[in-house]
Each structure stands twice: as structure tokens, then as C-alpha cells.
Amino acid sequence: MRIGNLAGRLTLFTATDPVGAVDVEKASAGRFGSDPQAVFAVWEEFLGWTRAVDRLFASMARVPPPRSVT
């Protein structure tokens, strides 16, 4: 999982999430803001939250792609 700036908003990028990008402010219910730089002031708390999110994504059942209809 990586953090980044997407359209000026703090974003988590993950290979395990189907959409690949998660808006941090929305996913954390406002616990962390949208400013990508502000997260460094609460870095340890943020890391704990991202670990929980990563475990959630890892525990989600993967759905295989649909078969071709012939």
C-alpha cells in the first residue's frame, strides 16, 4: 500500500483494492483530512489505521472474473 496525492487529496493506492485508489478522508470517516501533507503530523496514528485497512482488504474474498458466455 502506498500513499499519494490524487487531485489534491490524500489517497491510498493498493493492488488489493479493486479500484486501486481510496480517498483517505472518506474512508477514515474524517479521522484524517484530505491534505496529503497534514498526515505527517499524525504519522504513527495514520500507520496504525492503514494497517487495519490493509488487513480488511486482504480479508475480502476475491471474486474470479466471469466466464465467457458462449
What is the model's pLDDT at position 17?
Answer: 56
User: Alpha-carbon dihedral of residues 11, 25, 29, 26, nearest 10 degrees?
Assistant: -70
Classify strands 21-23 and 2-6 as parallel, antiparallel or unpaired: unpaired
Tens digit of pLDDT for each residue in 44-68? 999 999 888 877 666 665 666 777 7
Would you say the pTM of this structure is higher than 0.85?
no
